[in-house]
């Protein structure tokens, strides 16, 4: 097991290094000059040159990449003399548009996205997996047909449609949330009820389409596993249907769901752009969209891109380790 974990950790580290280098190569050849974008309206070649030096853009892309990696662990200093300033570790660059270290900006947006991702994940797992198991257990009954209708409706509605419908015809029509409260961040530690009420409808908007997919996937897996030989053997021994379902069927049936669940959750951590924009949540998705379309803030775009990729790689690593725990044959392979 230790050898398996070591291989997975090493491969994940290599993937993250390659991703970060690739991102720097891509953004290095974009037709934008961050030094010119940061100099404002009264822009002169001297100001552009000074900004380029302060941002560390007057060196090759691989030196910029190396300084970026070092800054994550030890912090980074920009400029010289009286104009020198420091971003403490983990330093992801400096945004001249917002006049703040990117790590500070990310720290204010990340709790919002984490709250959205965790809440939606819990909601769609309980709803989707639970409804899928019930649908498989009562196959070809009215319960199964009702779940099929839910799957059809859920998979037919994109997130931006379901989010707008929830916002316009449920939240605002019945005054469940004041329009002035949209986009307000409340900490679950200091204001748990306000945090719950402000995130419940975004959770529901995201969970609907995921829950529909997981319902269909869980139902098919449970039905397929129920026809295996070891399930028939358990029934032949007189094991009750409840015990067959919970002890013998669910563990192998739900193992494949672990893969898509981990990657879907990592994708949300990278920023649920549409949902955050609809409900005006100041998370990573909305931050990235604003940096890309309005501010052209390349340090933020680079950092959020690498951060989103890191979430996916780490989630994939966790899924691999969980799979190895559930199925020892994977460790042998």
* pLDDT tens per residue across all 333 residues of the chain: 677 778 888 888 898 889 888 888 887 777 776 777 666 666 777 777 777 777 777 777 788 888 888 888 888 887 666 667 788 888 888 887 788 888 999 998 889 988 998 999 999 999 998 898 888 888 888 888 888 888 888 888 888 888 888 888 777 777 777 766 677 788 888 888 888 888 888 898 888 888 988 998 888 888 888 777 777 787 777 777 777 777 777 777 777 787 788 888 887 887 678 888 888 888 888 888 888 877 778 888 888 888 888 888 888 888 777 776 665 555 555
Check which CATH number belongs to the domain holding 292 and give it.
1.10.3720.10
Do 5 and 321 meet the contact criterion of CB atoms below 8 Å apart? yes
Q: What's the half-sphere exposure (Cβ side, CA atoms, 13 Å) at 73?
A: 4
Number of domains in the chain: 2
Distance CA 98, CA 290 (A): 12
Does one domain contain both 197 and 79? Answer: no
Residues near 20 by Cβ (< 8 Å), separated by ≥ 6?
65, 68, 69, 306
Residue 61 lies in a domain: yes
Q: Which domain holds residue 52?
A: 34-91
Does one domain contain both 321 and 215? Answer: yes
Residue 98 lies in a domain: no
Do 183 and 279 meet the contact criterion of CB atoms below 8 Å apart? yes
Residue 304 lies in a domain: yes
Does one domain contain both 199 and 79? Answer: no
Does one domain contain both 123 and 242? Answer: yes
Token pair of 13, please? Answer: 């580290």
Does one domain contain both 172 and 200? Answer: yes
pTM score, whole prediction: 0.82
Token pair of 154, please? Answer: 């859920």
């Amino acid at each position: 097991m230790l050898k398996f974990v070591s291989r997975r950790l090493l491969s994940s580290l290599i993937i993250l290094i390659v991703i970060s280098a690739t991102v720097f190569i891509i953004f290095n050849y974009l037709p934008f000059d961050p030094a010119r974008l940061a100099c404002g309206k009264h822009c002169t070649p001297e100001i552009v040159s000074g900004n380029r030096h302060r941002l560390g853009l007057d060196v090759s892309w691989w030196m910029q990449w190396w300084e970026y990696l070092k800054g994550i662990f030890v912090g980074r200093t920009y400029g010289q003399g009286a104009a020198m300033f420091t971003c403490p570790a983990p330093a992801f660059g400096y945004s001249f548009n917002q006049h703040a270290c990117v790590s500070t900006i990310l720290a204010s947006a990340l709790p919002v996205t984490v709250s959205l991702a965790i809440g939606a994940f819990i909601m769609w797992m309980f709803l989707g997996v639970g409804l899928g198991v019930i649908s498989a257990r009562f196959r070809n009954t009215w319960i199964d047909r009702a779940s099929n209708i839910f799957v059809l409706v859920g998979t037919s509605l994109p997130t931006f449609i379901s989010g707008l419908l929830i916002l316009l015809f449920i939240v605002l029509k019945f005054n469940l949330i004041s329009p002035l409260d949209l986009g307000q961040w409340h900490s679950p530690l200091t204001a748990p009820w306000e945090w719950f009420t402000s995130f419940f409808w975004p959770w529901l908007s995201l969970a609907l389409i995921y829950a529909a997919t997981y319902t269909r996937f869980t139902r098919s897996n449970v039905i397929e596993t129920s026809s295996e030989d070891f399930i028939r053997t358990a029934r032949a021994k007189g094991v009750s249907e409840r015990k067959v379902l919970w002890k013998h069927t669910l563990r192998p049936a739900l193992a494949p769901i672990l893969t898509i669940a981990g990657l879907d959750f990592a994708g949300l951590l990278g920023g649920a752009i549409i949902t955050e924009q609809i409900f005006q949540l100041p998370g990573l998705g909305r931050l990235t969209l604003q940096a890309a379309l309005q501010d052209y803030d390349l340090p933020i775009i680079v950092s959020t891109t690498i951060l989103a990729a890191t979430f996916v790689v780490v989630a994939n690593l966790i899924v691999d380790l969980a799979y190895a725990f559930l199925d020892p044959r994977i460790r042998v392979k």
